[in-house]
Structure 1
Amino acid sequence: MAKDIQITFDCSDPAALAAFWAEALDYEVQPPPQGFDTWDDALRAFGVPESEWSSRSAIVADGAPRVFFQRVPEGKQVKNCVHLDVRVAPGLTGDERMQALEAEAARLEALGATRAYRVEPRPPMEHGFITMLDPEGNELCLD
């Protein structure tokens, strides 16, 4: 049986990064536990100090891994050893593929991402992709 996984990002602003990735992946910010209208209500009831309320956030989607964001004191230092490939053009090739990737790159730029570089298709081994940086500089590839 496959194990359930969670993907975790260390970051400086969990709520902002969760909001970006929720839009990028068509997820939603995880709602508060049952019985609570807001996360503030839940955290207050759980006795979490208010200074910690913005230290974590998560996004969810049915049937997909939960993505968790936790505040850490240090900023990003080097290139990520692991990154997400956001598969926005499966089955597309050539100009049609690159146009779909460019459209998604523009959408993510409007949400705060930046473009790092574009790799052109060179069949049969390379189908083309665009490497982006999320608002905190974490790499992701539009594939």
Structure 2
Amino acid sequence: MAREVQITFDCADPAKLAAFWAEALGYRLDDPPPGFESWEQALDAMGVPPERRNDASAVIDPERAGPRLFFQRVPEHKRTKNRLHLDLRAAPGLQGEARMAALEAEAERLLSHGATRLHRSDPAPPLGAGHIIMADPEGNEFCLD
């Protein structure tokens, strides 16, 4: 039996992190509940006070092919390396210098949206194709692969 998957991020600023990952993946903010034209309208109707309106956010794949990403505010900060991370397939089918050039271009694009570059691993045949380790605006590691 197939199951849907949602990936949840604990974070300090759900709106900011949702915007980053929407940009990184080509996703968009999730739709407001049925019957509402905007999230502001929905949150007003639910009686959510202004100081709680950034407690959660979500982004979705416009094609509905990829998993929904959910961002929830938590009081504690990230402390150590992720045990799970996302690989962004930024250079599928490319090899060698063409692959690394595509990864570098994507790294530069994401840096302009708040990412941090952590490490580059150059190709190491026969198994290593090369990748770049990055962190999102709250320090969650991910790879450009």
Deviations 1:5-45 (A, max 9, x none): 10000000000000000000010011212321221110121
Q: Give the aligned residue type for 2:102.
A: A
- 2:130 is aligned with 1:128: yes
2:24 pairs with 1:20? no
Aligned residues with identical type, % of pairs: 59
1:24-39 maps to which residues of 2 (within 5 A)?
24-39=24-39
Could you tell me the TM-score, scaled by structure 2's length?
Answer: 0.95
Which whole-Å deviations, capped at 9, do the CAs of 1:97-142 have from their partners, x for residues lacking one? Answer: 0000000000000000010000000111100000001000000000
Comparing 41-50 with 69-78, greater Cα deviation is found at 41-50
- The number of residue pairs the alignment matches comes to 143
What is the CA deviation profile of residues 40-82 of structure 1, one whole-angstrom value per residue up to 9, with x for unaligned ones? 1101212333332110000001121100000000110100000
Aligned residues: CA RMSD: 0.9
For the residues of structure 2 that align with 1:73 and 1:129, how far apart are their CA atoms?
32
Which residue identity is paired with 1:64? G
| Aligned-partner SS, 1:132 | strand
2:113, 2:141 → 1: CA distance?
A: 15
1:68 aligns with 70
- TM score, norm. by length of structure 1: 0.96
**Secondary structure at 1:42 match in 2:** helix
Q: Which runs of 5+ in 2 are unaligned?
A: none
- In the alignment, the residues of structure 2 paired with residue 99 and residue 26 of structure 1 have an alpha-carbon distance, to the nearest angstrom, of 20
SS of the aligned residue for 1:100 comes to: helix
Superposition misfits of 4+ residues, deviation over 3 angstroms: none
List runs of 5+ in structure 1 lacking aligned partners: none
